[in-house]
Amino acid sequence: MKKIIVGISGASGSIYGIDLLEKLSKATNVETHLVMSNWAKENIKLETDYSVAEVENLADFVYDNRNSGAAIASGSFRIDGMVIAPASMKTVAGISIGFDEDLIMRAASVMLKEQRKLILVPRETPLSAIHLENLTKLAKLGVHVIPPIPSFYDHPKTIQDIVDHQTMKVLDSLNIEADFAKRWDGE
């Protein structure tokens, strides 16, 4: 069974983390560990029709973002990957300098030190030189940076079509089967 941490930080785009949790909850061989920032919880209320409790119910385990003693804060707790979707620039900056201010940043630091899969779905535009430097630094350390940039070869009709494509890209990076979105198959 794969164990995946899903971090939802306070950037706009909480639907990306929620959709990932929904898809992972349907996988029979995946255990999910959820941690959300306070602003993530606010954005869920502002941006979606979900309640925070509904989002938490999608995960197998839920942690308080202030709990530095949580299982996912330790390298001895075996985890196969972590996705922060969306990843705020504050969270990206904290990870890039090893500032473990909260559980999301600490769990990401553990992924880096243990050389485990870490995926960021950064949500900011335009990106400043500081944002780009932080993301570049993390990419050089092996972090997969998968920004939510829609494709149009699949002729999306709804916002969900665009979100599905993003979630497919994240699941591909985790080596988890994703057959719910259209892939490019050539001309």
29, with CB counted inside 10 A (0-12, 13-18, 19+), is exposed
Q: How far apart are CA 25 and CA 21, in angstroms?
A: 6
The answer to whether 163 touches 15, Cβ cutoff 8 Å, is yes
pLDDT confidence bin for 185, thresholds 50/70/90:
confident
- Domains of the chain with bracketed CATH: 2-173 (3.40.50.1950)
pLDDT confidence bin for 107, thresholds 50/70/90:
very high
Residues 15-59: tens digit of each pLDDT: 999 999 999 999 989 999 999 999 999 999 999 999 999 999 999
The answer to whether 120 touches 17, Cβ cutoff 8 Å, is no
| pLDDT > 80? residue 103 | yes
* Mean of pLDDT over the chain: 95
State residue 61's pLDDT score. Answer: 98
Report DSSP state, residue 80. S
Cα angle, residue 71 at apex, residues 70 and 77 outer, rounded to 5°: 155
Residues 114-136: tens digit of each pLDDT: 999 999 999 999 999 999 999 99
State residue 25's pLDDT score. Answer: 95
State residue 163's pLDDT score. Answer: 96
Q: Which long-range contacts (CB under 8 A, 24 or more apart) does 167-170 make?
A: 167/16, 167/19, 167/20, 167/23, 170/20, 170/83, 170/85, 170/119, 170/121, 170/146
| pLDDT > 80? residue 186 | no
pLDDT confidence bin for 175, thresholds 50/70/90:
very high
Residues 85-95: tens digit of each pLDDT: 999 999 999 99
- pTM, whole model, 2 decimals? 0.96
Q: Residue 72: count other Cβ atoms within 10 Å of its Cβ.
A: 23
State residue 37's pLDDT score. Answer: 98
pLDDT confidence bin for 183, thresholds 50/70/90:
low
Taking residues 153-161, what's their average pLDDT?
A: 92
Q: Give me the phi and psi of 32, to 5 degrees please.
A: -110, 145
